Amino acid sequence: MRWAQTASLVLLAASFAIAGCSKSPAPTYKAGAVPGIDRAALETAVGKPSSSMPFALPGLKAEILAYPFGQAVLQDGKVAVVTIASDPAYTGAHGIHLGMPEDEFLKALHGTGAKGHRDAYDVIAGDMDTRTKDYYDEHGSVMYELAAANANDPLAPYNVIGINLADASGLSFLETLTKDKVAGLYTGQHIDNFVSDPWSL
């Protein structure tokens, strides 16, 4: 899934080299890694991160912790977002998992009270263009990232490539990150054809 790894809007920490530490990072997501906990609780659940880096854009300031399953975003010492993007064994709320086709994803959410907004856009990273949809579910405190397998095929299906567990501050972080990329403020990625609409199921 090279296209998914390249196109992912929210994966900000690219280095997954294992740092020397007393507890290696968990290879898969663990249920204790959730928004709202502090760094100590996060490391108890999933070990120390493979790497970490400060991150700042207009309106954003955070620390990004990389894990084999994805990453965690810390703001003011608390976890705001946990991204699962590379754990094929992970199954989230309503049975949603990485690789799930969009029609199955929407069917799984039907009747759950999911509501928020959907952002659709093209992510351009170098010579790669990926059509992406972000479904923000404010009711479930999660943002689902989907991408089309072939940007050149307008009929290509979308599949889930990232599941972002997020509290209110985390959803705000993700929204602001998208806006900054639309504005061209993030080096290495550019967003075209951005459309945002409300949605609910």
Contact assessment for residue 156 and residue 163, using Cβ atoms and an 8 Å cutoff: no
- Domains of the chain, by residue range, sit at 2-200
Residues 44-71: b if buried by 16+ CB within 10 A, e if exposed: ebbbbbbbbeebeeeebebbbbbbbbbb
Q: Is 2 a residue whose pLDDT tops 90? A: no
Give the residue-averaged pLDDT of 94-114.
Answer: 97
Q: How far apart, in whole angstroms, are the C-alpha atoms of residue 174 and residue 192? A: 17
Sign of CA dihedral 109, 87, 72, 126: negative
Residue closest to 6 by CA, chosen among 108, 185, 175, 131: 131
pLDDT at 24: 65
- Ramachandran region of residue 156, left (φ > 0), alpha (ψ -120 to 50) or beta? beta
Q: What is the pLDDT of residues 69-91, one digit of tens each?
A: 999 999 999 999 999 999 999 99
Amino acid at the residue 47: G
Residue 27 has what pLDDT?
80
If pLDDT is split at 50, 70 and 90, which confidence band does 166 have?
very high
